[in-house]
């Protein structure tokens, strides 16, 4: 996997997933496997565009689930071709909507996977509807546990805060591939 720290990536075709991916939990893994599938079907490279530190850590100081190193390692194991890591700092967050769209356009994406609440650009000015005016955008179905709750980094952080490491690990840890069956 090629990693680009704060460098823009110019390629003739791609499929891209954009997001924080803190923890690379089961929901994220499903998204990333789908990205690899898309890339094989289209025969174009897969690109993950992520942020370090996670914007929620930058703004609200929430604890990080995985170090950048661990996040990179997990994303690489899924078989992603290119990883862009944007250093989320004061300078980056001031970038405009147009500036971000221009950067993405340099990768010529056939499809972009984002969350339905994805925001981009200074003061969160851009949303999925705006992004869809420029690119084909796909929103994945939520991956949930048996009890119907959507898996999220926020939820895993809460489980850890409550001292529920076992259940947090079930949602995070790759060694528990079928363990959602145990989660009630
Ligand atoms: C170019 C750019 C600028 C951003 N500027 C801001 C900002 O000014 N304020 C803010 O709260 N979030 C900002 N964000 C962060 C987004 O709101 C969001 O947290 C980020 O895109 C991660 O998406 P995710 O929640 O789907 O993982 C920016 C994101 C991008 C890509
Ligand atoms: N449970 C899930 N099912 C399907 N897609 C998911 C799931 N969780 C995250 N994603 C997707 O993964 C990408 C990155 O999401 P993001 O990093 O915001 O995850 P998150 O777990 O929702 O984070 P947070 O709880 O901090 O908001 C987005 O495309 C998002 O829609």
Q: pLDDT tens for residues 62-110?
A: 999 999 999 999 999 999 999 999 999 999 999 999 999 999 999 999 9
Q: Is 113 in the pocket of ligand 2 (CB under 6 A)?
A: yes
Q: Does any ligand 1 atom lie closer than 6 A to the CB of residue 87? A: no
- ipTM score of the complex? 0.97
- Predicted TM-score (pTM) of this structure: 0.94
Is the pLDDT at 21 greater than 90? The verdict is yes
CA of 20 to the centre of ligand 2 (A): 8
Residue 93's pLDDT is what?
Answer: 97
What residue spans define the domains of the chain? 11-142
pLDDT tens-digit series, residues 124-145: 999 999 999 999 999 999 999 8
Would the CB of 27 count as within 6 Å of ligand 1? no
Domain 11-142 has CATH 3.40.50.620: yes
Position 183 pLDDT exceeds 80: no
| Ligand 1 close to Cβ of residue 124 (< 6 A) | yes
HEC-encoded secondary structure of the chain = CEEEECCCCCCCCEEEEECCCCCCCHHHHHHHHHHHHHHHHHCCCEEEEEEECCHHHHHHCCCCCCCHHHHHHHHHHHCCCEEEEEECCHHHHCCCHHHHHHHHHCCCEEEEECCCCCCECHHHCECHHHHCCCCCEECCCCCECCCCCECCHHHHHHHHHCCCHHHHHHHHCCCCCCHHHCCC
The ligand with the least distance to the CA atom of 148 is 2
């Amino acid at each position: 996997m090629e990693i680009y720290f704060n460098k823009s990536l110019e390629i003739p075709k791609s499929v891209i997933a954009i997001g924080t991916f803190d923890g690379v939990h089961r929901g994220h893994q499903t998204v990333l496997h789908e990205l690899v599938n898309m890339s094989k079907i289209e025969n174009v490279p897969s690109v993950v565009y992520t942020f370090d530190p996670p914007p929620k850590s930058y703004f609200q100081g929430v604890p990080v689930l995985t170090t950048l190193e661990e996040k990179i390692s997990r994303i690489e194991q899924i078989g992603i071709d290119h990883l862009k890591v944007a250093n989320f700092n004061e300078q980056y967050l001031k970038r405009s909507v147009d500036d971000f769209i221009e950067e993405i356009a340099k990768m010529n994406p056939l499809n972009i996977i984002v969350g339905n609440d994805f925001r981009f650009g200074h003061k969160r000015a851009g949303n999925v509807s705006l992004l869809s005016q420029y690119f084909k955008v796909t929103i994945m179905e939520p991956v949930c546990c048996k009890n119907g709750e959507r898996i999220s980094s926020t939820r895993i952080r809460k489980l850890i805060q409550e001292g529920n490491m076992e259940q947090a690990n079930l949602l995070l840890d790759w060694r528990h591939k079928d363990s959602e069956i145990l989660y009630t």
